[in-house]
Amino acid sequence: MISSLNLNLNRPAPISSSIKPSLSPRIAPIRTRLPPSPGFAELSVVSLSKSSISKPLHIGASLGRKESSITCGAYEADRLEPVVDGSESARKVKIGIYFATWWSLNVVFNIYNKKVLNAYPYPWLTSTLSLAAGSLIMLVSWALRIAEAPKTDLEFWKSLFPVAVAHTIGHVAATVSMSKVAVSFTHIIKSGEPAFSVLVSRFILGETFPPAVYLSLIPIIGGCGLSALTELNFNMIGFMGAMISNLAFVFRNIFSKKGMKGKSVSGMNYYACLSMLSLVILTPFAIAVEGPKMWAAGFQQALSDIGPQIVWWMAAQSVFYHLYNQVSYMSLDEISPLTFSIGNTMKRISVIVSSIIIFQTPVQPINALGAAIAVLGTFLYSQWPSSEEVSWIPRFNQHLLCRRSSEDGEAGKL
């Protein structure tokens, strides 16, 4: 819808002056005004009556030096077409690189992590080393100005603390699970995390979901149950470790949503701070559960069985754990939560398939069927965005239409 308004002016006005058009009885002024910008006049904006306009308008005015009329173009906000240029293509390539790097690093981490746990079965120390390596990498990056250090305060760390507690529990529980069962089995059970998310949100937080979300839980729960019942090397500790990890990560996401609202920290720095705080929380518990004596005795045994390469395996699993998590958090700066959820599902498929091939894990057809059903259910679940993700869409469109005032610093409103 394109409309034009011709306004007669008594005399030419400088750019900084205000222009007051004559109003007919059927025209009512809007209280908001367009912010000043180079080449544009600051003017009061008028609108037709509500009976003639039912959708929000975006109006721009153009003034010539000797012109006596103002032409205003208007279009409907919900018909706004995105501008497609080279930057959009570059962004898609960047996201593709993030996803490929994320999946590859995760596969490599799981391989080295399982090798370490097979030769050195101390999951508490292994988990601690992963967090320590990531913390050291980020501290060095900040010191050398490779990455910009985040600006944090006491309130930030208070908000981060419950997130770090849940992250620590989930990380240790998953490592304990991998030390007892096959990597593929751990990730099959961890693909049931959406079921925990829905149940916790429904019965603890009181949130409701569309019927399709509840229906997607049927293949998730059924597939995980079928895989567990037909797992040749089933271990209760390994199974419970994966289940506890699912529950802990659900609470981590809940605490993160509630505590980090309004905090402006990039994904990379957010995960760095999370790793450091989790390291502080985990270290005393790792010493209490396993202890230096057990670690030293186990290391000597691993050296005699594997040789010096056990040191490389431990270093590799620690570094790759941080790198894959860092890339996944960095990708959240570029994509929506819905796209991230789909990417996480595809990541589990790559880890399950690669671990079965590399470690030659025996898999029965019925076990593979259960895994496929569980992953399919997770993919179907990811197709239904949460209420926060749905509300994100109109907020994004408003961001495209609104202008921030340079005078008072307050966000413009439609």
pLDDT attached to residue 262: 55
pLDDT attached to residue 55: 40
380 band by pLDDT with thresholds 50, 70 and 90: confident
86 band by pLDDT with thresholds 50, 70 and 90: low
Residues paired with 19 in a beta bridge: 43
| pLDDT (average), residues 89-113 | 85
pLDDT attached to residue 112: 95
Q: Please write the tens of the pLDDT for every residue from 308-323.
A: 999 999 999 999 999 9
User: Residue 274 above 50 pLDDT?
Assistant: yes
260 band by pLDDT with thresholds 50, 70 and 90: low
| pLDDT (average), residues 99-125 | 92
385 band by pLDDT with thresholds 50, 70 and 90: low
More confident residue, 90 or 414: 90
Q: Among 62-71, 254-263, 399-408, which range has the highest average pLDDT?
A: 254-263
What Å distances lie between residue 354 and 29, 110, 328, CA to CA?
65, 10, 19
**To the nearest whole number, what is the mean pLDDT of the chain?**
75
Q: Please write the tens of the pLDDT for every residue from 122-172.
A: 999 999 999 999 999 999 999 999 888 888 888 889 999 999 999 999 999
Q: Please write the tens of the pLDDT for every residue from 191-241.
A: 888 888 888 888 888 888 888 888 888 998 898 888 888 887 889 999 999
Q: Please write the tens of the pLDDT for every residue from 237-248.
A: 999 999 999 999
**Nearest residue to 132 (alpha-carbon basis) of 261, 279, 328:** 279
391 band by pLDDT with thresholds 50, 70 and 90: very low
pLDDT attached to residue 336: 64
Query: What is the pTM for the complete model shown?
Result: 0.69
